[in-house]
Amino acid sequence: MCERLTRALNHLDGATVDVVVVGGGVIGTAVAARLSSTTARVALIEIGGDIANGGSKGNAGVAVSYYYDPASLDTQLINESNPRWEELCARLDVPYRRLGGLMIARTMDEADRLPGILADAIACGAPAELLSGAQARELEPMITPECTAAIHLSAEGVIDPLRLTAAYADIAQLNGTIIALGTKVVAIQHEGDRSHLFTSAGRISTRFIINAAGLGAAEISRLAGGEALTSWPRKGQYLVVDREFAQHLRKIVFSTQMPDTKGANVVPTTHGSALIGPTAEDIEDFDDHATSTTVLDQVFEHATTLVPSLTRDRVIKVYAGNRPASDERFRYRFDAVVPNLVHTTSRSSGVSASPAVGEHTLQLLRDAGLDAEDRRDAVMSLPAFPRLRTATAPERLIERDPGFGQVVCACEMVSAAEINHALSRPVAANSIEGIRKRTGATYGRCQGAMCMAGISFMCGLATETGPRDVRVTPTGTMGVPS
Partner 1 sequence: MTTIIVGSGPVGLGAARAIASNGLDVLVIDRIPVIGGMNGWEDRSMQALAAEAAAVGARFALGATACRWEAGRGLLIAGPAGVQTIRAEHLLFCGGRRPATVAELCIGGDRPAGVVASSVAKHLLESGEALWREPVVLGAGYDGDAVARMLANVGANATRIGSGEGSLGQARIQRIVGRPRVQQVVVDCAGTSFEVFCDAVILAADDRPVRNVVGAITDDATGVTYIQPAMSIPTTEAVAESARIAIDVVAPQHPIPVVSIKEQTP
Q: Is residue 318 a contact residue for partner 1 (CB under 8 A)?
A: yes
Q: What Cα–Cα distance (Å) separates residue 457 from each residue in 79, 222, 373, 461?
A: 44, 42, 44, 6
Confirm or reject binding of residue 184 to partner 1 (CB under 8 A).
Answer: no
Q: Is 206 helix (H, G, I), strand (E, B) or coil?
A: strand
CB of 198 to partner 1, least distance (A): 25
Least distance from C-beta 10 to partner 1, angstroms?
24
458 binding partner 1? (CB under 8 A): no
CA distance 142 to 78: 29
Contact status: 3 vs partner 1 (CB under 8 A): no
Selected from 176, 202, 394, 426, the binder of partner 1 by CB under 8 A is 394
C-alpha to C-alpha distance for 270 and 79, rounded to whole angstroms:
22
Q: Is the CB of 116 or the CB of 402 nearer to partner 1?
A: 402
Interface with partner 1 (CB under 8 A), residue from 43, 166, 209, 452: 452
Q: Are 245 and 274 in contact (CB under 8 A)?
A: yes
- How far apart, in Å, do the first and last CA atoms of the chain sit? 16
> Given candidates 381, 410, 461, 464, which one binds partner 1 under the rule CB under 8 A?
410
Q: Least distance to partner 1 from the beta carbon of 292, Å?
A: 5
Stretch that binds partner 1, among 83-91, 153-161, 367-375, 469-477 (CB under 8 A): 469-477
Helix (H) or strand (E) holding 340: none
Does the protein bind partner 1 through residue 447 (CB under 8 A)?
A: yes
> Is 344 within 8 Å of 357 (Cβ atoms)?
yes
Q: Which stretch binds partner 1 (CB under 8 A): 35-43, 84-92, 262-270, 312-320?
A: 312-320
Considering only 325, 444, 459, 465, the residue that binds partner 1 (CB under 8 A) is 444
Spatial separation of the C-alpha atoms in residues 347 and 324, rounded to whole Å = 5
Question: Is residue 356 within 8 Å of residue 73, measured between CB atoms?
Answer: no
Q: Which helix (H) or strand (E) holds 4?
A: helix 2-10
Q: Which amino acid is at 314?
A: R
Q: Which of 258, 290, 380, 461 binds partner 1 (CB under 8 A)?
A: 290
> In terms of CB distance, is 205 or 447 closer to partner 1?
447
Per CB under 8 A, 461 contacts partner 1? no
Residues contacting residue 350 through CB under 8 Å, at least 6 positions apart: 25, 26, 27, 55, 56, 59, 214, 357
Single out the residue of 196, 262, 289, 329 in contact with partner 1 (rule: CB under 8 A): 289
Q: Tell whether residue 55 is a contact of partner 1 (CB under 8 A).
A: no
- Residue ranges in 63-102 that form contacts with partner 1 under rule CB under 8 A: none
DSSP 215-251: GGHHHHHHHTT-----EEEEEEEEEEE-HHHHTT--S
**SS3 for 445?**
coil
Closest CB to partner 1 among residues 133, 440: 440
CA distance 472 to 452: 9
Q: How far is CA 41 from the centre of its chain?
A: 25
Judged by CB under 8 A, the chain residues 213 through 272 that form the site for partner 1 are 239-240, 244
- Using CB under 8 A as the binding rule, whether residue 14 contacts partner 1 is answered as no
Distance separating alpha carbons of residues 363 and 474, to the nearest angstrom: 34
E runs forming strands in 117-217: 128-132, 149-153, 157-159, 178-180, 185-191, 194-199, 202-211
Q: Which of the stretches 99-107, 128-136, 202-210, 290-298 binds partner 1 when contact is defined by CB under 8 A? A: 290-298
- 392 sits near partner 1 (criterion: CB under 8 A): no
The yes or no reply on residue 478 touching partner 1 (CB under 8 A) is: yes
Q: What span, in angstroms and rounded, lies between the C-alpha atoms of 238 and 241?
A: 10
> What pairing do the DSSP bridges indicate for beta strands 128-132 and 149-153?
antiparallel
448 binds partner 1 (CB under 8 A): yes
| Part in contact with partner 1 (CB under 8 A); list of ranges 122-130, 168-176, 197-205, 287-295 | 287-295
Binding mask 350-389 for partner 1 (x = CB under 8 A): --------------------------------------x-
Output 378 or 450, the one with its CB closest to partner 1: 450
Tell me, by CB under 8 A, how many residues bind partner 1: 53
Q: Nearest distance from residue 449's CB to partner 1, in Å? A: 4
User: From CA 463, how far away is CA 422, in angstroms rounded?
Assistant: 12
The answer to whether residues 25 and 353 touch, using CB atoms and an 8 Å cutoff, is: no
Q: Is residue 319 a contact residue for partner 1 (CB under 8 A)?
A: yes
CA atoms within 13 A on the CB side of 437: 32
Question: Residue 163 CB: number of other CB atoms within 10 A?
Answer: 22
In the complex with partner 1, the residue whose CB is nearer, 98 or 317, is: 317
471 counts as binding partner 1 under rule CB under 8 A: yes
Residues in the site for partner 1, rule: CB under 8 A?
239-240, 244, 287, 289-293, 296, 313, 315-319, 388, 394-395, 397-398, 402, 404-407, 410-411, 413, 415, 444-450, 452-454, 456, 466-468, 471-473, 475-480
